[in-house]
Each structure stands twice: as C-alpha cells, then as structure tokens.
Amino acid sequence: MYFHYANILVFLLAGMGFVFLNMVLGSLVRPQRKTAEGLEAYECGETAIGEGWFRFDIRYYTVALVYIVFAVEIAFLFPWARVLKQAYAEEGLGAAALVEGVMFVAILLLGLAYVWVKGDLNWVKTYQLEREQRLAAQRRQAGVKEAA
C-alpha cells in the first residue's frame, strides 16, 4: 500500500529536483548583465519606447479563446469522422453518431455567431466611435441650451 505512495513521492521529488537543477544551471551558464543596457527589457539594438507593462485589449484574449475552441473542435472531429463510416456499418449507430456530430458543430457555430454578433471579433473598437458620437450630440444639445 505504502509502495504506491512512495512511487508518487519519488516522482514528485525527481520532478522538483529536475526543475531546481535546471534553474541553478541556467543561472550559472547565462551571461550576467550588469550595465544599464543589459538590464533593459527589450534588447535588440532599438531604443525602448515606453514601459514594458501595459494592458492588452480584451478582444485579443477573446479571439485567442475562440481559436482554441475551434482547434479543439477540429481535434474532436477528426477521430469522429474517421469512425463514422464504421458506425454506419453497424445498425442504428451511424445515424446517431452523425446527429451527435452535427449537434456538436451546431452548438459551436451558435457560440461563434453569439461572439460575432456581440462584436468581440472586431479588432476596431466600434463602441468608441459610438461613444464619441454620443458625446458630440450631448455637446450640441448643451450648446443649444446655453444659446437659449
């Protein structure tokens, strides 16, 4: 019984030791940069502009997540398509497998349509233009009230 736990402990210690050893070897092998130029975050011959820490637009992450969803969909559809012909050879199983596959794709397409209609796939921020138009209309109304 304890032998199984000992196996887990040995693998855990070996993994942690491997990580620690690689970090120590990396610190010994890599060049030590002590100058101001060596300590810059972006070192390729160009002068750094601004800070290295800034926020990305949430749309970048949304597009990345949609890509991951469809990549996983492809990964699930290849084996499904491969065995679909064999499923049709068996009585009653082929139609059910086809319906389930089509439902899977339909649910993912509904999710894509939702994200698309919501505007999360647009790289240009359309809501910023709408906001500017609303502010311009409010300024015009305020100008009309001041003139009256």
Query: Please, are residues 132 and 122 in contact by the beta-carbon 8 Å criterion?
Result: no
Rounded CA separation 115/109 (Å): 10
pTM score of the predicted model: 0.46
DSSP state, residue 121: T
pLDDT of res. 145: 63
Letter for the amino acid at 73?
E
Cα–Cα nearest to 84, from 106, 104, 101, 70: 101
Q: Which range is most confident: 16-25, 102-111, 134-143?
A: 16-25
Residue in the structure block whose two tokens are 């970048």: 60
The sign of the torsion formed by the CA atoms of 66, 72, 76, 77 equals positive
Structure confidence at residue 48 as a pLDDT band (50, 70, 90): low
Q: Residue 26, CB half-sphere, CA atoms under 13 Å: how many? A: 6
Q: Could you report the per-residue pLDDT of 118-130, keeping only the tens digit for each?
A: 877 776 655 666 7
CA angle 75, 78, 81 (to 5 degrees): 145
Instruction: Report whether pLDDT(38) > 90.
Output: no
Structure confidence at residue 12 as a pLDDT band (50, 70, 90): very high
Rounded CA separation 42/54 (Å): 14
Average pLDDT of 10-16? Answer: 96
Instruction: Report whether pLDDT(43) > 60.
Output: no
How many of the other CB atoms lie within 10 Å of CB of 80? 15
Instruction: Report whether pLDDT(81) > 80.
Output: yes
Query: Please, are residues 87 and 97 in contact by the beta-carbon 8 Å criterion?
Result: yes
CA distance readout (Å), 47 to 44, 96, 117, 137, 139? 8, 61, 41, 42, 41
Q: How many whole angstroms from its chain centre is CA 85?
A: 34
Structure confidence at residue 80 as a pLDDT band (50, 70, 90): confident
